């Protein structure tokens, strides 16, 4: 539904104008938006912010640019915990979520963008745009992207919007028609955008952005010594840090079922990473002490994950987009554990289809997989070879460079309260 006026800011009172008038001497701003629904969206946003800092004064990035990394949920009229909300979709209702995620608006009827959501729920972000007038907005979550589109329509201020899906498939709710650039991980994802009438010039295969440290290999022997990891063992990272509770309940339950069998893997050393969950870390330590397991260790929160990953031989983890991407960039073979739904199911399907990982749905399958690796560690080499096609350690820099190329080149814009449109035949069947 197009609105009557185009490219015209909402009327403001003199008081509003005085309050929101930008400082003409203010530094230029790039806004990076995420939503606190799991940790991946924020991690990708921070990775792009770090790249901007590294690129100051080059590739069109102003040396004095201010980088705002914001959680769009902080600007909502209704305040809620995104992680808790997301967790409600990962319990008994998760199969329903899976069906909705896979089939809603992923065929020919597509979402284009509009002002409705922004007007009702995010007026504070519209005020933010009026105040900051960013050079560009980069969004790593659907809600953030749609709110950015709405704010641009409402305020009339021009800025490019760059969207970064942080998984290996693209949902139907991204603002396809109003996004200036989609930065996607694979050609497969690009192929899902084309029938949604996204022009080739608005699609770039960059990879998913990850934090710095994965660009060049570090000294593996030195890193193992620094982390206290045996030099002569196959090191297995068990990535059990919890961001969304419910999925990790199942993941941890499967892991704990394997614990009595770990002592049989004499040539392996298991490193458990509970993240910031100190209670779970202490629980693991008590279990290992009681079982007298000698080929295990528990690490507290690790800042330098890049070095730890490159010092390891294989990781056991869930199929979250950012986690698997960091493993790809670190050249760390993966065993994905557990039944996956929604976007994580798409991640698992893509990675196993490439032959870039192994997948175990149960504790019994995991033990069988570990047995295979224990007896034939060379099997990990095949995973590395296959995964190389998906490795993009410089994704963040590529995204920043392409974003700056869009600054100052406005496109014709229309205003819509809400817009749906008819796309082409879907590129694939889920």
Q: Burial of 285 by CB count in 10 Å (0-12 exposed, 13-18 middle, 19+ buried)? A: middle
The whole-number pLDDT of residue 94 equals 61
Residue 44: helix, strand or coil by DSSP?
helix
pLDDT at 322 over 60: yes
The whole-number pLDDT of residue 84 equals 56
- Range in 15-19, 116-120, 393-397, 419-423 the model is least confident about: 15-19
| Mean pLDDT across the chain | 86
The whole-number pLDDT of residue 336 equals 96
Quickly state the pLDDT bin for 6 (edges 50, 70, 90): very low
Q: For tokens 């749905």, name the residue.
A: 361
Among candidates 194, 206, 202, which has minimal Cα distance to 161?
A: 202
Among candidates 203, 214, 316, which has minimal Cα distance to 258?
A: 316
pLDDT 10s digits, 187-236: 989 998 998 899 999 999 999 999 888 877 678 889 999 999 999 999 99
The whole-number pLDDT of residue 104 equals 57
Three state DSSP letters for 9-28: CCCCCHHHHHHHCCCCCCCC
d(CA 274, CA 282): 10
Quickly state the pLDDT bin for 17 (edges 50, 70, 90): very low
- Range in 8-12, 78-82, 410-414 the model is least confident about: 8-12
Residues 6+ apart with CB under 8 A from 372: 379
All domains of the chain in start order, with CATH:
14-210+394-422 (3.40.50), 220-390 (3.40.50.2000)
In order of 39, 43, 156, 200, 216, the CA distances from 322 in angstroms are: 8, 7, 34, 25, 19
d(CA 259, CA 24): 62
Please compute the mean of the pLDDT values over residues 319-328 and round it to a whole number: 94
In the beta sheet, which residues pair with residue 395? none
Quickly state the pLDDT bin for 286 (edges 50, 70, 90): very high
d(CA 72, CA 407): 22
pLDDT 10s digits, 390-427: 999 999 999 999 999 999 988 888 898 999 888 887 76
- Measured in whole angstroms, how far is the alpha carbon of residue 306 from the centre of its chain? 16
The whole-number pLDDT of residue 21 equals 46
- Range in 90-94, 210-214, 373-377 the model is least confident about: 90-94
**DSSP one-letter code for 280:** H
């Amino acid at each position: 539904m197009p609105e009557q006026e185009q490219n015209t800011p909402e009327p403001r009172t003199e008081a509003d104008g005085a309050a929101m008038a930008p400082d003409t001497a203010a530094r230029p701003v790039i806004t990076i938006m995420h939503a606190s629904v799991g940790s991946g969206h924020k991690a990708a946003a921070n990775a792009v912010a770090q790249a901007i800092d590294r690129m100051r004064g080059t590739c069109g990035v102003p040396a004095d640019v201010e980088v705002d990394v914001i959680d769009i949920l902080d600007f909502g009229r209704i305040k809620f915990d995104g992680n808790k909300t997301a967790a409600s979709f990962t319990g008994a209702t998760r199969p329903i979520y899976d069906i909705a995620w896979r089939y809603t608006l992923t065929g020919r009827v597509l979402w284009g963008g509009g002002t409705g959501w922004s007007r009702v729920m995010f007026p504070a972000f519209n005020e933010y745009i009026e105040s900051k007038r960013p050079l560009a907005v980069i969004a790593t979550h659907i809600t953030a992207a749609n709110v950015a589109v709405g704010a641009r329509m409402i305020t009339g201020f021009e800025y490019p919007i760059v969207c970064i899906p942080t998984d290996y498939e693209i949902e139907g709710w991204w603002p396809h028609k109003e996004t200036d650039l989609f930065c996607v991980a694979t050609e497969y994802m690009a192929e899902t955008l084309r029938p949604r009438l996204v022009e080739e010039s608005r699609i770039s295969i960059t990879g998913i952005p990850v934090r710095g440290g994965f660009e060049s290999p570090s000294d593996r022997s030195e890193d193992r010594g620094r982390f206290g990891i045996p030099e002569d063992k196959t090191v297995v990272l068990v990535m059990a840090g919890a961001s969304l509770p419910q999925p990790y309940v199942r993941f941890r339950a499967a892991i704990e079922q394997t614990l009595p069998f770990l002592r049989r893997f004499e040539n392996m050393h298991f490193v458990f990473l509970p993240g910031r969950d100190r209670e779970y870390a202490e629980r693991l330590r008590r279990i290992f002490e009681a079982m007298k397991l000698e080929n295990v260790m528990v690490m507290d929160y690790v800042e330098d994950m890049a070095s730890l990953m490159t010092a390891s031989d294989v990781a056991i983890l869930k199929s979250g987009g950012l986690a698997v991407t960091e493993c790809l960039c670190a050249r760390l073979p993966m065993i994905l554990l557990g039944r996956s739904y929604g976007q994580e199911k798409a991640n698992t399907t893509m990675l196993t289809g490439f032959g870039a990982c192994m997948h175990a749905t149960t504790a019994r399958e995991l033990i069988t997989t570990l047995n295979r690796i224990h007896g034939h560690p060379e099997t990990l080499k095949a995973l590395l070879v296959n995964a190389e096609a998906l490795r993009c350690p410089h994704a963040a820099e590529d995204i920043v460079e392409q974003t700056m190329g869009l600054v100052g080149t406005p496109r014709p814009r229309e205003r819509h309260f809400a817009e749906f449109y008819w796309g082409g035949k879907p590129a694939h069947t889920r």
